[in-house]
């Protein structure tokens, strides 16, 4: 998996920093000036204001005309046809057109190491963001997740491994069909990308 995980939301609400600080009970969250740009980003680490050793950073990119966020959304839409399932391609194309902001969380594996507190803090901040503004996830090297954090789209050309809570959209009723997907099983993965659930197992 890559070093970025993103939250793409239809909301343009801003989230008070104190809400995220309360969420990261095993670490600290603080604001850092963004070099060369207006505004700032957030840092997550073991000790507040220790900018040389951070576990992750969070940057909010609004989506509007001539913005970095709009460029990212366009790139995501262009890439949809390289993966599947087809129902998710169609659903995501519609959803992405309405995205108002992207929260990009960059993780630093060397700093995080195997520290369980680091993982807990980053996950807690991401959860607080999602609870505040909703949205879907985009994980580098994995794909897109729906509002329930289930994998709904991936590119089979990537080096995928492990098991994932997944879902396929039933376009006849607009509901997601949840199951557990074994990414190490090529046959199961290919069925998923085609929009089929070979062995449906609730996760």
- Domain borders along the chain are 4-149, 161-203
pLDDT, tens digit (0-9, with 9 covering 90-100), for 147-157:
999 999 999 99
Q: How far is CA 127 from CA 87, 104, 172, 173, in A?
A: 26, 13, 30, 28
Q: What does the DSSP 8-state code read for residue 64?
A: S
* Residue 193 contacts residue 85 (beta carbons within 8 Å): yes
pLDDT at 198: 63
Question: Around Cβ 201, how many Cβ atoms within 10 Å?
Answer: 12
118-126: average pLDDT: 94
What does pTM read for this prediction?
0.90
Q: Per residue in 45-66, pLDDT tens? A: 999 988 888 999 999 999 999 9
> Which is more confident, 106 or 36?
106
The whole-number pLDDT of residue 40 equals 65
pLDDT given at position 38:
47
37/75 Cα distance (integer angstroms): 22
Q: Is the pLDDT score of 131 beyond 50?
A: yes
């Amino acid at each position: 998996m890559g070093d970025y995980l993103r939250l793409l939301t239809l909301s343009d609400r801003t989230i008070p920093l104190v809400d995220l600080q309360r969420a990261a009970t095993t670490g600290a969250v603080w604001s850092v000036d963004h070099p060369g740009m207006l505004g700032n980003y957030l840092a997550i680490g073991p000790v507040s204001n220790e900018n040389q050793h951070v576990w992750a950073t969070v940057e909010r990119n609004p989506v509007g005309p001539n913005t970095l966020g709009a460029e990212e959304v366009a790139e995501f839409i262009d890439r949809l046809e390289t993966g599947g399932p087809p129902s998710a391609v169609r659903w995501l194309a519609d959803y992405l057109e309405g995205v108002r902001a992207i929260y990009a969380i960059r993780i630093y594996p060397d700093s995080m190491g195997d520290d369980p507190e680091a993982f807990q803090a980053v996950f807690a901040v991401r959860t607080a963001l999602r609870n505040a503004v909703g949205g879907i996830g985009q994980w580098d090297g994995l794909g897109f997740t729906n509002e329930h954090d289930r994998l709904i789209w991936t590119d089979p050309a990537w080096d995928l491994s492990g098991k994932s809570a997944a879902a396929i959209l039933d376009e006849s009723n607009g509901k997601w069909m949840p199951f557990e997907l074994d990414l190490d099983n090529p046959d199961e993965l290919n069925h998923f990308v085609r929009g089929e659930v070979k062995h449906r197992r609730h996760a």
